[in-house]
Amino acid sequence: MYSLQDLLHLMSRLRDPQFGCPWDIKQTYQTIVPHTLEEAYEVADAIERGDFDHLQGELGDLLFQVVYYSQLAREEGRFEFDGVVDSITRKLIRRHPHVFPTGDLYAALDIPRLSEEQVKQRWEEIKAEERAEKSQAPEQLSLLDDVPAALPALSRSAKLQKRAGQVGFDWPDALPVLDKVREELDEVLEAMADNDATAISDEVGDLLFSVVNLARHLKVDPETALRGANSKFEKRFRFIEQALRDTRRPIEDCTLEELDALWGEAKRQEKNLPSCG
């Protein structure tokens, strides 16, 4: 069975200027980023579908992305893969003092267990300390500085809101957030009445941001929730397509009412309810 060292050697061979793969040789940090994002989503997709037969392969694809960046950095004399491993290990030891109080990875200690809430609180304190250490001018440091700009918009909205909430800039519970969602929806309607394309786009963005805030207060991950809604829509639409294939009827020939009736049938079948027809 091949090992991690074999994978690192393979990566080095692929990037060999004389004997490597032409495609791999020309890649840069920037050109690999889209592949990294795609591989991360394929891991998430396999987990959501319960496709554990293929999860190992998807994780391998994702690991290869880390190996790729490490090879690029090695060639430039920046760091190597071992440094990546050392960095994350040190960080996790530091962020888990309730598990590694002495900082010794292999120390066998009888440690009192903390509650999940205590662990989260300490985690955020440590991360705040790390952010302060990164800044040469702490008085100018923003709580939002290390929220990655490349995150999916829904996930980034939730993280930005969570950070602001840590210093009290937050609604006390979900009900006023729901009022805010209604307010933003009214503003979308106003922009639509004015037929102002720029304002419509701006107000729809505010509405989405408010919905993310509502999801956060309800302890729902917005990215996961929307992926679930996407999957549900896809299943129901495929049901409509198959039902029309069975009757040899083109979907384009159907009225919206007919399609909506099939949509309702798809929903009933999901809930194992009897057909009304």
Backbone angles phi, psi at 94, to 5 degrees: -65, -35
User: Within its chain, how far is the Cα of 160 from the centroid?
Assistant: 14
pLDDT at 104: 87
Q: Does domain 4-95 have CATH number 1.10.287.1080?
A: yes
Distances (CA, A) of 143 to 138, 146, 159, 219: 11, 8, 11, 21
Distance CA(263)–CA(277), nearest Å, equals 13
Domains 4-95 and 153-220 are alike in CATH topology: yes
Q: 74, 81, 101: which is closest to 6 by C-alpha?
A: 81
Buried b (16+ CB within 10 A) or exposed e, 77-113: eeeebeeeeeeeeeeeeebebeebeeeeeeeeeeeee
Distances (CA, A) of 164 to 83, 157, 228: 33, 11, 27
pLDDT at 277: 47
Domain covering 153-220: architecture? Orthogonal Bundle (1.10)
The domain limits of the chain are 4-95, 153-220, 224-270
Q: In this prediction, what percent of the chain has a pLDDT beyond 70?
A: 94
pLDDT at 271: 82
Instruction: Express each pLDDT in 125-157 by its tens digit.
Output: 787 777 767 665 555 578 888 788 888 899 899
For the chain, what is the mean pLDDT?
A: 90
Question: pLDDT tens track of the chain, all 277 residues?
Answer: 999 999 999 999 999 999 999 999 999 999 999 899 899 989 988 998 899 999 999 999 999 999 999 999 999 999 999 999 999 999 999 888 888 888 888 877 777 777 777 777 777 778 777 776 766 555 557 888 878 888 889 989 999 999 899 889 999 999 999 999 999 999 999 999 999 999 999 999 999 999 999 999 999 999 889 988 999 999 999 999 999 999 999 999 999 999 999 999 999 998 875 555 4
Q: 119, 117, 126: which is closest to 99 by C-alpha?
A: 119
Distance CA(194)–CA(186), nearest Å, equals 13
Q: In this prediction, what percent of the chain has a pLDDT beyond 90?
A: 68
Residue type, 59: L
